[in-house]
Amino acid sequence: MNSEATIFIVDDDIAMRDSLSLLLSLNGFRTRSFANAENALTAYSPDWLGCMLVDMRMPGMSGLELQIELGKRGGDLPIVVMTAYGDIAMARAVLKSGAADFLEKPIDDAVLIDVLRAAIEVQSRRRQALPAIPGVGRPQPLTMREQQVMEFVAAGLPVREIAERLGISPRTVEVYKSRMTQKLRSHDAKDLPNPKPSGGTS
């Protein structure tokens, strides 16, 4: 993991911010916290390295609105959105807007650490060109979680089993399937390329 990477926590709940900061610090992450999206936007720089961990529902600007605004400002900082009130429409909107991942509270500590490390890794290689897929064209980059879901889909695993292995809900798996299919311009699991192992399914 890049030693300069920082996890930028955006959550109006001070107890949640402190808890996340402590957890992440104990796992070797640098952190910086903001009480709302507006403060994060004021401080934001396109040069930031790491990942932004954003609560979906906050007074004022929501996590999704923050994500959309950051997208307009450029930069390649991955954004992971978390919420205690998730549904498939919300997950689809967040991922469609470019989020690296969508996590439902309460979040398993190990899953959170894995997602953040993967997001940081994606940022470090995001600008590398991907090879074109024969008959499909040049796809948009898949996030680490989308790659994991793709591997399981290509292996023929059912949605519920994929959800259990990745520690996410079945409806979130469906959102990832839809998103990665759109990226790869494919409409059936048999059309998916044979992916290289991602190094784990935590």
Q: Determine the residue type at 81.
A: V
Sheet strands (E) in 95-167: 101-104
User: What pLDDT, on the 0 to 100 scale, is given for residue 37?
Assistant: 97
CB-based contacts of 5: which residues, under 8 Å, 6+ apart? 29, 30, 49, 50, 51, 120
Summarised one tens digit per residue, pLDDT across range 29-83 is 999 999 999 999 999 998 888 999 999 999 999 999 999 898 888 778 999 999 8
CATH of 131-202, one of 3.40.50.1470, 1.10.10.10, 1.20.1050.10, 3.30.200.20: 1.10.10.10
Sign of CA pseudo-dihedral 173, 87, 65, 118: negative
**CB distance 53 to 80 below 8 Å:** yes
**CB distance 73 to 44 below 8 Å:** yes
Task: Inform me whether the pLDDT recorded for 136 exceeds 50.
Answer: no
User: What pLDDT, on the 0 to 100 scale, is given for residue 1?
Assistant: 55
**CB distance 75 to 46 below 8 Å:** yes
- pLDDT band per the 50, 70, 90 thresholds, residue 126: low
pTM, two decimal places: 0.65
Fold classification of 6-125 (topology level): Rossmann fold (3.40.50)
Start and end residues for every CATH 3.40.50.2300 domain found in the chain = 6-125
Give the sheet arrangement for strand 50-55, strand by strand: 30-34, 6-10, 50-55, 79-83, 101-104
Start and end residues for every CATH 1.10.10.10 domain found in the chain = 131-202
CA atoms of 52 and 106, how far apart (whole Å): 18
Summarised one tens digit per residue, pLDDT across range 150-182 is 888 888 889 989 888 887 788 788 877 876 766
Question: What is each CA distance from 23 to 28, 58, 200, in whole angstroms?
Answer: 9, 22, 22
- pLDDT band per the 50, 70, 90 thresholds, residue 123: confident
